């Protein structure tokens, strides 16, 4: 036996061990699995397109979304106004483009708020346990007893009608879901042996929570967040439809539908385009969320 075949401890290593293969890291592997799913990629493309549309609305929209053209009121789609105009002569296409800001902004912001609140509380409940767990969980149970949209409407009405308040209301309403999910995930991960190994090596509790537990629950939170964005977009549209979200004349898909319902027979294009936009955004986030769930499923990891 040659010297090179011996490990430093004088034990022959299996022949395969020293061979370095260019194996992909976990993020690269996840990306490969995600891009292999056509529906997830469709969702991702639509989401990216909608975000670009919202960010670059100033350049994309052909008209000012709140400029009124009294010469073209409820005019059907034509070359000047491809999506038609509404009852005061707003260009519907421009309002759809700018409305993406309200919808996506509300979806992303409210879910970011829900995660920012839900993750720490769920972490405390799941890891600390005891009376804190009891208190946090009874509170979330109480919140979960109220239907999501009803709670959002009540909170938005309480805070006063504005887009910011609608975002806060939706975010608070979605928080309890994240508290519950985080707690359940934390409890599952905390029972794993590597958490005990982390204690054995001398990790303080906060470091176990942040370095060992949180990275292992991120996938589940990410999937839930993506799916909740879809629900939050519907919630924002609903609140705006009810006049509790984006205030006129600022555009929002929900408030556009509210106005359009009065002219459904006379000017159906006023309702079709915002409805289609909401449908597309919600579908895209749901497809992406399902794809993420499949791609991040630990049971399929090599």
Partner 1 sequence: MRPEPSDAYPLLSVRNLSKHYPLRTWWGGKGSVFRAVEDVSFDIRPGETLGLVGESGSGKSTIGRAVTMLNPPSAGTVAFEGTDLAKLDPRAMRRVRARIQMVFQDPYAALNPRMSIGDYVAEPFILHRPGMARAERRDEVEGLLARVGLDPRFARRYPHQFSGGQRQRICIARAIALKPSFIVADEPIAALDVSIQAQVVNLLQDLQDELGISYLFISHDLRMVRYLCQRVAVLWHGRIVELADADSLYDDPRHPYTRRLLGAVPVPNPVAERARLRDAARMPAVDPETIGALVEVAPGHWVAGDPHP
Using alpha carbons, list the distances in angstroms from residue 55 to 51, 58, 101, 109, 282.
6, 8, 7, 15, 18
- Compute how many residues bind partner 1; rule: CB under 8 A: 33
> Per rule CB under 8 A, is residue 192 in the interface with partner 1?
yes
Shorter beta-carbon distance to partner 1: residue 59 or 300: 300
The first and second tokens of residue 109, run together, are 């912001």
What binding mask, one character per residue, do residues 263-302 give for partner 1 by CB under 8 A, x or -? -----------------------------------x--xx
CB atoms within 10 A of CB 217: 21
C-beta separation of 300 from 33 below 8 A: yes
The 10 Å CB-count burial string (b at 16+, else e) for 127-142 is beeeeebeebbeebee
Q: Single out the residue of 9, 73, 87 nearest to residue 263, CA to CA.
A: 87
Q: How far apart (Å, rounded) are the C-alpha atoms in residues 48 and 34?
A: 15
> Per rule CB under 8 A, is residue 76 in the interface with partner 1?
no
> Per rule CB under 8 A, is residue 32 in the interface with partner 1?
no
Minimum Å gap between C-beta 198 and partner 1 is: 7
Using the contact rule CB under 8 A, the part of the chain among 3-11, 77-85, 99-107, 284-292 near partner 1 is 3-11
> Per rule CB under 8 A, is residue 13 in the interface with partner 1?
yes
Shorter beta-carbon distance to partner 1: residue 7 or 262: 7
Q: Single out the residue of 227, 111, 121 nearest to residue 169, CA to CA.
A: 111
Minimum Å gap between C-beta 11 and partner 1 is: 5
Strand partners for 12: 6
Minimum Å gap between C-beta 217 and partner 1 is: 10
| Cis upstream peptide for 223 (omega within 30°) | no
> Per rule CB under 8 A, is residue 9 in the interface with partner 1?
yes
Shorter beta-carbon distance to partner 1: residue 38 or 301: 301
Enumerate binding residues for partner 1 (CB under 8 A): 7-11, 13-14, 17-18, 20, 23, 25-26, 192-194, 196-204, 207, 211-212, 215-216, 298, 301-302
């Amino acid at each position: 036996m040659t010297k090179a075949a011996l490990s430093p401890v004088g034990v022959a290593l299996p022949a395969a061990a020293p061979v370095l293969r260019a194996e992909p890291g976990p993020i690269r592997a996840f990306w490969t699995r995600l891009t292999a799913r056509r529906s997830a990629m469709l969702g991702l493309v639509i989401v990216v397109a909608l975000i670009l549309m919202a960010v670059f609305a100033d350049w994309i929209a052909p008209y000012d979304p709140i400029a009124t053209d009294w010469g073209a009121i409820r005019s059907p789609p034509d070359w000047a106004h491809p999506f038609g105009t509404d009852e005061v002569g707003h260009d519907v296409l421009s309002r759809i483009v700018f409305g993406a800001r309200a919808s996506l902004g509300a979806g992303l912001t409210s879910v970011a708020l829900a995660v920012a609140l839900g993750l720490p509380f769920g972490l405390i409940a799941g890891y600390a346990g005891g009376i804190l767990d009891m208190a946090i969980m009874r509170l979330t149970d109480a919140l979960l007893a109220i239907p999501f949209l009803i709670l959002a409407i009540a909170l938005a009405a309480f805070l006063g009608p504005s887009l910011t308040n609608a975002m806060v209301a939706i975010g608070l309403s979605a928080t309890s879901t994240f508290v519950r999910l985080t707690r359940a995930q934390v409890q599952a991960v905390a029972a794993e042996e590597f958490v005990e190994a982390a204690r054995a090596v001398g990790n303080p509790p906060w470091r176990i929570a942040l370095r060992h537990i949180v990275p292992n629950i991120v996938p589940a939170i990410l999937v839930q967040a993506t799916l909740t964005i879809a629900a939050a977009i519907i919630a924002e549209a609903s609140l705006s439809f009810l006049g509790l979200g984006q205030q006129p004349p600022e555009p929002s898909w929900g408030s556009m539908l509210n106005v359009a319902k009065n002219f459904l027979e006379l000017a159906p294009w006023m309702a079709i385009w915002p409805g289609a936009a909401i449908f597309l955004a919600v579908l895209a986030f749901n497809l992406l969320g399902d794809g993420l769930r499949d791609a991040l499923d630990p049971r399929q990891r090599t």
